Homo-oligomer: A and B are copies of this chain.
C-alpha cells in the first residue's frame, strides 16, 4: 500500500502513521521527497484496512498494490475453471449457448420456444419467472408458477434451465426448480442475495451491473465464492454510457480483462447488451472472437407478441441461422460447441 501525504503534512504526521503501520507487524517505508512525502506498508493489505488511513486529513491518496479479490483471481488459480450446469460445461474449449424467452408467459409459450432453441442446438433454456421492471405498471412475471412451468419444460426437453432470482426468500424455490441461478444486473451488488446463492452449490450466472466496473463484478463473484459456492459464471451484458444508439454499450474488452485476471468462465448477453435484434448476430460473433465462453440469447417463438424485451428477441429462424453462422468463428477461436465431439 502506497500512501501519498498532502503537501502540508509534517514529519510528525508521517511518523504517527508509520507507527500505526508498524503496530500491525507490517513493514513501514518512509520516502520523503522535495515536494511530497510518500509512505509505504508492505504486507497483507487487508490487515491495514482496519487502520482506516483513508480518513486521515493529512493523507491525499492511498494506492493499493494487490487486487481486492482473491479467490476468483487468476494469480491464485492460474488454470481455467470449468463450471457445469447439470451436464453442460462452461469454460475451457467449450462454447455454450443459453437461449429462451425474456419472461415465462405461459406453458405453451415456453414449450414452443424450448422446442425451437433445443432443435437449433442451444445447450440451456432461460426464462424469467420473477421480472424486475422499471415501471410498476409493467408485467412482473408469474413467480412460483413460472418456476414450475420452467421445471416441467426443462424435463420435457432434457435441457438445463436458468432463471433469475431477485430476492433472498425465493432462493430455496429457485434452487428447487431450476438448474442454475441467474443474478441480474440490478442485483449484482445485492450482497445479501449474493451470500444466499453462495450458500447453495447450484451454479450462478452473475451478470455485470449496468454501471459496475469489471473490478466490482469480480468482487461480487468473490462474495459468492467466499461463501462456499465456486460455481460462478460471469456475464457481460452492456453498461450504461452516454451513447443512445444502442440500449447499452456492450463492453467486450471486459472479456480479455476478465480472462487475464480471473479463472472463472465468462459469457456475453448481446440481446440486452445492444437491445436491437439485428445486432445480436454480429455481436455474438464478436463475443466468440474475443474469447467469451458462451452467449445468452433472447428467443421467442413469436417475438411480436412477447410481453417484455420483444424488440431485442430473435425470431426462430434468426436463432437457427445464428447457431449455424457462429460455427466457423467458434472453430477459428479453437473452440467447439459444448458437447460436440470434434473441435
Contact = CB atoms under 8 A, between A and B. Distances in A.
Interface in A237-266: 239-246, 249-257, 260
Given A167-B168, A252-B252, A291-B282, A245 B213 contact: yes
Interface string A151-193: 0000000000000001111000000000000000011011110
Given A31-B42, A134-B189, 5 more contacts: A35-B65, A55-B306, A55-B310, A214-B245, A215-B245
A234 to B, nearest CB: 14
Interface stretch (A92-100, A121-129, A327-335): A327-335
Given A31-B42, A135-B68, A167-B192, A256 B282 contact: yes
Interface of A: 2, 4, 7, 29, 31-36, 38, 40, 42-43, 46, 49, 52, 54-57, 63, 65-66, 68-69, 75, 132-138, 140, 166-169, 186-187, 189-192, 210-211, 213-216, 219, 222-223, 226, 239-246, 249-257, 260, 273-274, 277-279, 282-283, 285-291, 303-307, 310-311, 313, 328-329, 331-333
B274 A253 contact: yes
Contacts of A289: 282, 285-286, 288-290, 329
Q: A49, A57, A65 — which one has the most chain B CB atoms within 10 A of its CB? A: A65
A245 to B, nearest CB: 5
B52 A38 contact: no
Contact of A134 (B219, B241, B251, B286): B219
B49 A42 contact: no
